[in-house]
Amino acid sequence: MIISRPFELGQDQSSPNKNVFPITAELDELGRMMIGGCRLSNLAEIYGTPLYVIDEKTLRIACRAYKEALRNYYPAASLPLYASKANSSLAISNIVMSEGFGIDVVSEGELITALKAGMPGKNIVFHGNNKSSRELLLAYKNDVTIVIDNHHDIDQLNYIVNSTEKKARLILRLTPGIECHTHEYIRTGHLDSKFGFDLEDLDKTLVKLKNLHWANLIGLHAHIGSQIFELKPHQDLAEVMVSALHKAIEIGHPVTDLNIGGGLGIKYIDSDDPPSIANWVEKISKSIIDSCKKRNMDYPRLLCEPGRSIIATAGLTLYKLGSRKNIPGINKYVSVDGGMSDNPRPITYESTYTACLVDKPSAEPQESVNIVGKHCESGDILLKNYPLPNSSSGDVLGVFGTGAYNLSMSSNYNRIPRPASILVSNGNAELVQKRELPEDLLRYDILPDRFIAKG
């Protein structure tokens, strides 16, 4: 299958999730690809490969698209939260904060990163289905809003907070009976999920929280999936959640926030056609407005948690080509100097991507190859039967749309160090995460004394 080559595709300047390439993608006078004003093959030589590259302009435009859409389509207060599980670092946290975002975190590590980047605790929302008492205490001390996912959260907080005067800011997570994974849409009374309270448990949970003097329930939350292209599930979600919000108000909770999660998809390959950010916000806003009017309710503050649609398109990964194996009539394999340790999504989810040789991105494909990683796994295949022009060992390959869930899910499988990450903007490149070195992988190894030869 031959796909469209770079720059035969139009760039949407207002909604980066609808593009395969970062907003700043262009060719220099010799036809070599540039991002953020930097030539990609030059970045590979300076910083080494594999290399994560983040285009700052694309990241900021995505943030601004959410902010502008919320201003245009939602008549009350709002706060978009960056879902930092997609890609957590001090630099990215600081950028989204500067664009008026809060941050959604799911661990002590992500929480500390957000706080160290300067994010106020009041603009951080802490998720998780099995939070430790240490994590809950850290969140509570920093005025972070804690998402109550189960009765275990309530019981732990009752022990931690009960003897203090300051109330805990809480949001209750519900499992709303709606689930959407890209094109599959399921709606049932109960869903098989480790997250949240079933709607059938809502009343008794609301009453339980009402009787706890330390609990300040300020909102409700739900999340229905990821890489979603359909808008109808989120419209249905709004109706379910506004109904639940109305019930919480009737029981006497001072709820002001409605958090509808994230999940908007992005364009990984030419055939993907996700909604724009503005369209997603518009449809959800209208559903919430209509549901509130039907119940004669004030509009809640609207929270949403985009992650992939903020950072994925801004990111790409650079590799150098290495060995080649041709099996006549069967397959061709071209190896890169990374693979499943820096991008586990193909082997885990059979995810697909767009790629090109960055110094000849517009060249006609001449062969179909399996682009494979260097790990000791036969399934370590980044791209299957992918069209490439003639290539040589040392050529730089760019794989696009890797800003989300690549670095954050990376590993040291085969004791391979994690790549560096750089931020590019206006012709400048800045290191935002150092490359691990092989000796770094020994930092936490301990060889017991009895294994060390004496004398």
Q: Is residue 50 a contact partner of residue 317, using CB atoms and an 8 Å limit?
A: yes
**pLDDT attached to residue 422:** 98
Nearest alpha-carbon partner for 185 in 229, 243, 222, 239 = 229
Give me the percent of the chain exceeding a pLDDT of 90.
84
**pLDDT attached to residue 452:** 78
Q: Which of 20-34, 74-88, 166-180 has the lowest mean pLDDT?
A: 166-180
Question: Looking at residues 442-454, what average pLDDT do you find?
Answer: 86
Q: Which residues pair with 200 in a beta bridge?
A: none
User: Taking 80 as the threshold, does the pLDDT of residue 455 lie above it?
Assistant: no
Q: Is residue 170 a contact partner of residue 218, using CB atoms and an 8 Å limit?
A: yes
Q: Which residues are catalytic?
A: 376
Q: What's the one-letter identity of residue 291?
A: S
Convert the pLDDT of each residue in 278-290 to its tens digit: 999 999 999 999 9
Convert the pLDDT of each residue in 417-434 to its tens digit: 999 999 999 999 999 999
Mean pLDDT of the chain: 92
Q: Which residue has the tokens 């041709």?
A: 326
CATH 2.40.37.10 residue ranges for the chain: 16-55+312-442
User: Taking 50 as the threshold, does the pLDDT of residue 4 lie above it?
Assistant: no
E strand map for 278-314: 301-304
Instruction: Give 72's pLDDT tier (boundaries 50, 70, 90).
Output: very high
Reading the block at residue 328, the tokens are 């006549």
**173: CB partners within 8 A, 6+ apart:** 127, 147, 148, 149, 195, 196, 197, 220, 221, 222, 223
Question: Can you name the CATH fold of 57-309?
Answer: TIM Barrel (3.20.20)
The reported pTM is: 0.94
Q: Which of 19-28, 226-235, 319-328, 419-428 has the lowest mean pLDDT?
A: 226-235
CATH superfamily of 16-55+312-442: Lyase, Ornithine Decarboxylase; Chain A, domain 1 (2.40.37.10)
Please give the residue that has the higher pLDDT: either 8 or 234: 234
Q: Which residues pair with 187 in a beta bridge?
A: 178
Nearest alpha-carbon partner for 147 in 132, 169, 178 = 169
E strand map for 351-427: 355-357, 367-372, 381-388, 396-400, 420-425
Instruction: Give 189's pLDDT tier (boundaries 50, 70, 90).
Output: very low
Nearest alpha-carbon partner for 306 in 158, 39, 86, 36 = 86
CATH 3.20.20.10 residue ranges for the chain: 57-309
Convert the pLDDT of each residue in 127-159 to its tens digit: 999 999 999 999 999 999 999 999 999 999 999
